[in-house]
Amino acid sequence: MKQYIIDELRYNDYEKVKLYLDENLGASEIGGIYWLPIDKEIMTGEQAAHTECLPLFFVIDLKPELISCELLVRTKKRIKCSCIDYATEKQRNWLIQYTDDMLKQLEISI
């Protein structure tokens, strides 16, 4: 799995990130797994056309020692579909920017 990983997270920083994700993405239903909806503006034509699969997400896996952002675009509605694919460069950059902005807002320096 391709991922953007931030490791060596301090426990106090983990608590800040957890609170931020709980407030902005909803409390994790499965231990530390958060679903980040992808902006329609950065979807590929095929992804946007698959209205039955929308919304599309990136998964953020938060653990006390790290944040793992999967670079796979997925839906909660299906396991297999042609719109489920690894992030484009634009999508990857959007996810990294989201994560980096969150850390900056929380005053977490890595």
Q: What is the mean pLDDT of residues 60-74?
A: 97
38 CB burial (10 A radius; 0-12, 13-18, 19+): buried
DSSP 87: P
Q: How far from the centroid of its chain's Cα atoms is residue 47's Cα?
A: 17
Looking at this protein, which amino acid is placed at residue 56? L
Q: Are 84 and 57 in contact (CB under 8 A)?
A: no
In the chain, which ranges are E strands?
Answer: 3-7, 33-37, 56-63, 66-70, 72-75, 85-86
Q: What is the mean pLDDT of residues 81-97?
A: 97
pLDDT in tens, 14-50: 999 999 999 999 988 888 999 999 999 999 999 999 9
Domain boundaries defined on the chain: 3-105
